[in-house]
Structure 1
Amino acid sequence: MRRLPALDVARGLAIVLVVLHHAVLHLDAAHLLAPWWRAVNGELVLLRMPLFFCVSGLLAATAATRSWAVLVRSRLVPLLWVFVVWSLVRFALFRAVTPQFQPWEADSLVPLLLAPVRPTTGLWYLYALAVFTVAARALGRRAPWLLVPAAVLSLAAGEQWVRAPFYVWHQMARCFVFFLLGWCLRAQLLRLLGSVRAGPAAVCSVAGAGLLVAHGAGWLRGPGVAGALSVVAVVCGLAFAVLLTLLPGASGVVRACGWLGRRTLPVYLVHELVVGVGTSAVVALGVAGAGRPWWLPVVWAVLAVLVSLGVHAGAVRAGAGWLYSAPAVLGERAGGLLEAVAARAGGARRVGRPGGDGRRARGTP
């Protein structure tokens, strides 16, 4: 199926919410945040990463038809490369520039060294995406069987009934089901998104926003409510993306969100550095005493997106594109190594099979 514009719009909206989230966190740490932003940011947790992972799973589902060697070369190596490279960049910059309110990943060298097995970095989405893709590809046609257990795990993690020892693992437990939904229901979701009309999309969008407001106001509480609302929020977020593509007066917004949705990686990698350095500069210049304007997180988010895209464009022009994509030789070697291991393992099985090559090796020319 052709790629629907609504998917890029949804990714664009999701990355904006991620940038806004980190702007709120840094401004709050610097005591520059209007208090009500905490409540808004707390409600958006039901939509932000679940929507991001659902769309990512939907777009990654074509990997189910690829060989392991192709999957490693084209997807896993690039993801892990940027995860490692930018973990180093973040550690160095946050240690040097933002010592007052740096992310906890920069507290010491130990979290950095343990990042491949115990990530504490703000880039955890990339790590989780690689792990989720491997898990779903390994399950193959059995992947839908895991939807119910993954939903139970997500509910338990969201309600704090189970608690992983590290934040990233906890978030992965909460979000895996949304990646699986996109991965397993790709064909159904594409048909649904391609057939929905503006009226139902508008009703769904308004209903989803109303439910989030009601939850934030305390009117919708109880065991499992947040998990159910998160699923509803993802559905309504996709409906809102479709609605934007259907509204005649929203063509400019659609083009902007779609364009951004196809460039989420540069924004994701750099935006928190921009927010952190900018917040440190504001504090160092003594501007913090000027108050806590409500619009500051929005300005910070827009600035972070624009600077991130500018940094990416400058890096590519300067020949530093390797910061954003793994060297081709690395992917080729990893894929080739996997193919060689698979071929050797397949040969060993054939040689040891009764009545096969093993019999010929024992005596028959």
Structure 2
Amino acid sequence: MTRPGTSLFDLRKPSSRHPGLDGARGLAVVAMVLGHTLDALLAPEVRADAWVQHYWELRGITAPLFLLVAGFAVVAALGTSQQSAGQSFGRRARRALLLLFLGYLMHWPGWDTAHALGWGKELRSLVFAFDALQSIGVSLLVGAAVLVLARGTWTRAVALAVLAVGIPLASTWMWSAVTGWPVELRQAMGMPGARFPLFPWAGFFFAGALAAHLLRLLRPGWPQGMALVALGAGLLVLTWRLPSDWSPTSAWLVAFRVGEGFLVLGAVNLVPQVLSRLLAPLGRSSLWLYVLHLPVVYGWAGTPGLAGRLGPTLGLLPALGVGLGLIAGCYAIARLWQLVRGDRRFTASTTWRAGPVPINGAGLRSSQRI
């Protein structure tokens, strides 16, 4: 377990790099790349195997974990300075716009498809498909604004709680309310067939932000880890007692996946730090791995990927080998680019020493976020 006095989530120190969050991102990115590769390449008879079916069930936590960690990281990067949210708003906004640009770029079908379809609803549905990057980007932009406008610990806690709980609860209503909107907006807000619409997926982002905000009340290290485990277990028990609902607008499903995500974050905070450090480099380059692996697996702009060239024909071990090779190749490209840029932050150490918790309430009164 994490030694008393050390922490993977020292939320009072302003930093965009926390080893626990990077470890969780690394775990999620490995599951994502392997999941996409297996989905594209496994032969039908292998996919029917019971072990593979169990893996598909576990894969459901991957995208929620990304959004959960993204929201957690926004708050974790603030420290306790009252001015940090406003000072970092511009940087967060630029990051959000980059995510939106990359997310939409990944769905460009190529000029041949564009000419064949014409600028109609079908092409617009392809180009403006709202994926995980766009969902994180818009959530980041909204979250950055909320953290600037809502001042004070409890004011921000209430604002984040309203978003974390209200967005999933309002999802069914929102999907019905936007039926007459242009397809570009319906893809973003919620419609049948949408990938990661804001309703309910933004709920994961704000649940992570709320958790990080409240964890400032606890001493870094095992108290925060145990709190995450207890909160995650509590949400799972609650969802097990309620009727299950696996529909795309289900608030029950959001609560279930948030509970699983909190258990992952709590476990990462409690296990020896050496395990997190093994995955942290992948977590720090998660955007690279996301953007690079999708065209290779599924193709881009009319150029077929592995799914069209090899799949679905491979056995389990060959497909796993391709997935691990893809992770290594994408990480190597990311590492090379960082070396070319001379960015030392890519390999900078991010182990924090936890300081004493302030007992005069000053740390609780100061603003903290984004």
Q: TM-score, normalised by structure 1?
A: 0.60
Aligned residues of 2:293 and 2:330 also touching (Cα < 8 A): yes
Distance change (3 Å), C-alpha of 1:115 and 1:70: farther
Partner-residue secondary structure (3-state), 1:222: coil
- Which one of the candidate residues 153, 172, 182 is aligned to 2:208? 182
Q: In structure 2, what is the Cα distance between the partners aligned to 1:206 and 1:179?
A: 15
Which of the residues 139, 147, 156 maps onto 2:164? 147
CA distance in 2, matches of 1:177, 1:25: 26
What do residues 25-44 of structure 1 show as CA deviations (whole Å, max 9, x unaligned)?
Answer: 2125x637432324421343
Choose the corresponding residue for 1:234, options 261, 274, 281.
261
Please name the residue that 1:40 is paired with: 55
The percentage of counterpart residues that share the same residue type is 19
Q: Distance in 2 between matches of 1:299 and 1:221?
A: 39
State whether residues 24 and 38 of structure 1, in contact with CA within 8 Å, keep that contact through their aligned partners in structure 2.
no
Q: 1:7 aligns with which of 5, 12, 21?
A: 21
- CA distance in 2 between partners of 1:254 and 1:299 (Å): 23
**Secondary structure in 1 aligned to 2:164?**
helix
1:119 to 128, 149, 153: 128
Give the Cα–Cα distance (whole angstroms) in 1 for the partners of residues 231 and 34 of structure 2: 20
**Cα distance change, pair 11–115 in 1 and its aligned pair in 2 (3 A):** farther
Q: Residue 348 of structure 1 corresponds to which residue in structure 2? A: none
Q: Using a 3 Å threshold, how does the CA distance of structure 1 residues 220 and 143 change in structure 2: closer, same or farther? A: closer
Partner of residue 292, structure 1:
315
CA contact (8 A) 1:58 1:185 kept: yes
Alignment of 1:70 with 2:93, yes or no, is no
TM-score, L = length of structure 2: 0.60
Spell out, residue by residue over 1:250-270, the C-alpha distance to the aligned partner (whole angstroms, 9 max, x if none): x2x422211111110110001
Equivalent pairs, count: 283
* Native 8 Å contact 1:120 1:167 kept in 2: no
**C-alpha contact (below 8 Å) 1:267/1:305 kept by paired residues:** yes
Which ranges in structure 2 are unaligned for 5 or more consecutive residues?
Answer: 1-11, 79-83, 151-158, 180-188, 246-250, 299-304, 344-370
Give matches, 1:118-267, under 5 Å.
119-120=128-129, 124-139=131-146, 140-141=149-150, 142-153=159-170, 164-168=190-194, 171-189=197-215, 194-196=220-222, 200=226, 222-223=244-245, 226-246=253-273, 251=274, 253-267=275-289
Contact 1:54 1:178 in 2 (8 A): yes
* Corresponding residue number in structure 2 for 1:16: 30
The 1:170–1:281 alpha-carbon spacing in structure 2 relative to 1, beyond 3 Å, is closer
- The structure with the larger Rg is 1
Instruction: State the superposition RMSD in angstroms.
Output: 4.6
Cα shift at 1:278: 3.3
Bigger CA drift: 224-233 or 254-263? 224-233
- Deviation, 1:297, is 4.5
Residues in 2 aligned to 1:201 and 1:239: alpha-carbon distance in whole angstroms: 7
Q: Distance in 1 between the 2:217 and 2:45 partners?
A: 45
Q: Is the 8 A contact 1:19 1:305 kept in 2?
A: yes
Indicate conservation of the 8 Å contact 1:143/1:184, yes or no: yes
